[in-house]
Amino acid sequence: IEEKFDAIVIGAGMAGNAAAHTMASRGLKVLQLERGEYPGSKNVQGAILYSEMLEKIVPEFREDAPLERHLIEQRFWMMSERSHTGMHHRSDDFNEEKPNRYTIIRSQFDRWFSKQVQAQGALVICETTVTQLVSDAYGKVIGVRTDRDGDTIFADVVVLAEGVSGLLGARAGLRQTPKPDHVALAVKEMHFLPQETIEARFNLKGDEGVVIEAVGSISNGMTGMGFIYTNKECLSIGIGCLVSDFAEKGETPYGLLEAFKRHPSVAPLIQGSEVKEYAAHLIPEGGYKAIPELFGDGWVVVGDAAQLNNAIHREGSNLAMTSGRLAGEAIFQVKSRRDPMTKQNLSLYKSLLDNSFVMKDLKKYKDMPALLHTNSKNFFLTYPQLVSKAMDSFLRVDGSPKVEKENASIRAFVKQRTLRGLFGDAFRLARAWR
């Protein structure tokens, strides 16, 4: 490729597609490079799609995007070895004309998203891995090299949307690769079942869907969570924990997933299913404090590559789409003013991001990742087990006076954590949540 582009986007995931679409639809000359055979072939997600963030890019997406089920119910489970204690929210209000959340299958969705990008005029080339960012003598990024040939492809600005590992940015010295306690490793399987079976097991009709998210003994005291998402004809079931915890504990992700599937609360939901896909992927979970430099001379970084992921709310794709869109808008504004793509001019991207929910939410939870990680045994094992025992005792009718049961449960909590420990945990959690 001889010509020079206004922008090169590396990666055709949620963030890259959002950035490429935003710039191409405003008339910029955009080249997007994706290492996968097709967009989405390498990508893994639970996956919940958040409509609002996509609507800002493709308003009419519901007409032809490959959507699975719209979500009407969220179940949150705190699990012990043989039980779960849950909090559910199901509402008919979620059966709205334009539903707020859908389940999707990324390999299909990303392909569709990429078609929208191409329809705006961007040049999208797959099976092409960017191997290097190219800089001028002053350190300004001026283009990229790929594994296709050794030539440099030039652009005014490069958008790094390469996903969580961020190898290119790290290789160019723009950031470090994420630390093991800032990334989770998640594994996921797709379990196929007849549509009627899914609807009967989850109390659904039509395109309604349910999400189950679970913490507790399933992660064996490590910082992590499991999930089950309903698609039309399959269930996505997975679990993920911090990479540093896996290393410390000597556990394996597939070992945890097998145990999760055998749990008495889970096994009946997937019984008789046929497993057709298995995938593993990293998730950035370091939060606000792990966010690297987001822009520089001739480059911006978006999505997972920028660690923009809200692990507390299990949101990632929406932060990826929003950061991609805002980076695209910032680049368009700098270009319209005929200004150069300097660090100073591209700081507009960071200002837009700071004013959005992305940075506001991540900032709100800035202390949560460290708190959960350093107290993982209490939050992910001890408390779920204590809650399970307390609920068991509360519900079991065995002739013991209720006051004795309550006192025994309180004593069990104090014995495990001490009064000081209990108040300390509550205080730290409340402070980190604010």
430 phi, psi to nearest 5 deg: -65, -40
Residues that bind ligand FAD (CB under 6 A): 10-16, 33-36, 42-48, 129-130, 161-163, 168, 186, 188, 238, 240, 281, 283, 303-305, 309, 314-318, 320
How far apart are the C-alpha atoms of 110 and 426, rounded to whole Å? 41
Taking alpha carbons only, the member of 44, 45, 50, 19 closest to residue 32 is 19
**Closest approach of ligand FAD to the CB of residue 429, in Å:** 24
Closer residue to ligand FAD in complex, CB, 14/243: 14
Provide the token pair at 70: 């719209």
**Closest approach of ligand FAD to the CB of residue 385, in Å:** 26
**Closest approach of ligand FAD to the CB of residue 44, in Å:** 5
Closer residue to ligand FAD in complex, CB, 142/158: 158
Closer residue to ligand FAD in complex, CB, 159/387: 159
Closer residue to ligand FAD in complex, CB, 1/429: 1
**Closest approach of ligand FAD to the CB of residue 65, in Å:** 15
User: Residues in the chain, how many?
Assistant: 434
Longest Cα–Cα distance of the chain, Å, equals: 84
Closer residue to ligand FAD in complex, CB, 80/146: 146
How far apart are the C-alpha atoms of 214 and 226, rounded to whole Å? 5
Closer residue to ligand FAD in complex, CB, 83/146: 146
130 phi, psi to nearest 5 deg: -75, 125
**Closest approach of ligand FAD to the CB of residue 83, in Å:** 25
**Closest approach of ligand FAD to the CB of residue 197, in Å:** 22
Provide the token pair at 175: 């950031």
Closer residue to ligand FAD in complex, CB, 104/259: 104
**Closest approach of ligand FAD to the CB of residue 292, in Å:** 13
Please state whether 39 falls in left (phi above 0), alpha (psi between -120 and 50) or beta: beta
Provide the token pair at 276: 């057709």
How far apart are the C-alpha atoms of 253 and 222, rounded to whole Å? 11
Closer residue to ligand FAD in complex, CB, 299/413: 299
**Closest approach of ligand FAD to the CB of residue 109, in Å:** 10
**Closest approach of ligand FAD to the CB of residue 168, in Å:** 5
Closer residue to ligand FAD in complex, CB, 313/377: 313
Closer residue to ligand FAD in complex, CB, 269/308: 308
**Closest approach of ligand FAD to the CB of residue 391, in Å:** 28
**Closest approach of ligand FAD to the CB of residue 2, in Å:** 20
Q: How many CA atoms lie within 13 A of 298 on its CB side?
A: 20
Closer residue to ligand FAD in complex, CB, 13/296: 13
